Chains A and B, each alone.
Chain A
Amino acid sequence: MAERDVILEVKNLKQYFRMNRHFTVKAVDDISFKVYRGETFGIVGESGSGKSTTGRSVIKLYEPTAGHVIFEGKEITGKIAEETRKMLRTRLQMIFQDPMASLNPRKTVMNIIAQGLDIHKLYKTQEERENRVYEMLETVGLSREHAHRYPHEFSGGQRQRIGIARALIMSPSFVIADEAISALDVSIQAQIVNILKKLQKDRDLTYIFIAHDLSMVRYISDRIAVMHQGKIVEMGSSDAIYKSPVHPYTKALLSAVPHPNPGVERYRKRIYYDPATVNYNEGRYHTIKGDHVVLATDGEYENWMK
Chain B
Amino acid sequence: MNEKILEVKNLKVTFKTHNGTVEAIRGASFELYKGETLAIVGESGSGKSVTTKVLMGILAKNGIIESGTAIYKNKDLCKLSKKEFVDIRGKEIAMIFQDPMTSLNPTMTIGKQIREAVLEHHVISRKAAKMRAIELIDMVGITNPEERYKQYPHQLSGGMRQRVVIAIALACNPNILIADEPTTALDVTIQSQILELIKRLQDEIGLSIIFITHDLGVVANVADRVAVMYAGRIVEWGTSDDIFMSPAHPYTWGLLASVPDMANKEIELYSIPGSPPNLMYPPKGDAFALRSEYALKIDFEEAPPVFKISETHYAATWLLDERAPEVPRPLFLQKRIEAMKKEAAAYGRT
Contacts and interface: CB of A to CB of B under 8 A. Distances in A.
B215 A258 contact: yes
If over half of A's interface residues share one DSSP class (helix, strand or loop), that class is named, otherwise mixed; here it is helix
A156 B44 contact: yes
A188 B44 CA distance: 10
A201 to B, nearest CB: 11
A288 B188 CA distance: 26
Given A190-B269, A191-B271, A215-B262, A262 B189 contact: no
A214 B262 CA distance: 11
B65 to A, nearest CB: 26
B192 A46 contact: no
Interface residues of A, number: 39
B27 to A, nearest CB: 23
Interface stretch (B135-143, B200-208, B336-344): B336-344
Nearest to A215: B260
Nearest to A272: B189
Contacts of A197: 268
B341 to A, nearest CB: 7
If over half of B's interface residues share one DSSP class (helix, strand or loop), that class is named, otherwise mixed; here it is helix
14 contacts: A46-B188, A185-B43, A185-B44, A185-B214, A186-B215, A187-B271, A252-B189, A258-B215, A260-B219, A260-B220, A262-B240, A262-B245, A263-B241, A265-B220
B220 A259 contact: yes
B275 A155 contact: yes
Nearest to B240: A262
B220 A264 contact: yes
B269 A46 contact: no
Interface in B332-350: 340-341, 343-345, 347-348, 350
Interface in A243-291: 252-253, 256-268, 270, 273
A270 B192 contact: yes
Nearest to A216: B260
A46 B270 CA distance: 27
Interface of A: 46-47, 155-157, 185-191, 193-194, 197, 212, 214-216, 218-219, 242, 252-253, 256-268, 270, 273
Given A186-B216, A259-B220, A215 B259 contact: yes
Nearest to B272: A187
Interface stretch (B148-156, B250-258, B312-320): B250-258
B145 interface: no
A110 to B, nearest CB: 22
A235 to B, nearest CB: 18
Given A47-B187, A187-B258, A218-B262, A261 B244 contact: yes
A273 B350 CA distance: 22
Given A186-B43, A260-B220, 15 more contacts: A47-B187, A185-B44, A188-B43, A188-B275, A190-B269, A197-B268, A215-B260, A218-B260, A256-B191, A260-B244, A261-B344, A262-B244, A263-B345, A264-B340, A266-B348
Interface string B196-224: 10000000000000000011111111010
Residue among A186, A187, A257, A258 with max Cβ neighbours from chain B (10 Å): A187
A257 B192 CA distance: 8
A119 to B, nearest CB: 32
Contacts of A266: 344, 347-348
A243 to B, nearest CB: 9
B71 interface: no
Interface residues of B, number: 47
Interface of B: 43-44, 158, 187-192, 195-196, 214-221, 223, 240-241, 244-245, 254-256, 258-262, 265, 268-272, 275, 340-341, 343-345, 347-348, 350
Contacts of B189: 46, 252-253, 256, 273
Contacts of B341: 263
Contacts of A273: 189
A261 B190 contact: no
A262 B49 CA distance: 24
Given A46-B187, A257-B188, A263 B270 contact: no
B258 A47 contact: no
Given A186-B258, A268-B347, A263 B340 contact: yes
Contacts of A215: 217, 259-260, 262
B244 A46 contact: no
Contact of B343 (A191, A218, A219, A261): A261
Contacts of A46: 187-190
A212 B188 contact: yes
Nearest to B187: A46
A16 B43 CA distance: 40
A258 B186 CA distance: 13
A212 B217 contact: no
Residue among B223, B255, B344 with max Cβ neighbours from chain A (10 Å): B344
Given A194-B268, A194-B271, A187 B255 contact: yes
Contacts of A260: 216-217, 219-220, 244, 256, 259
A218 B269 CA distance: 13
B269 A219 contact: yes
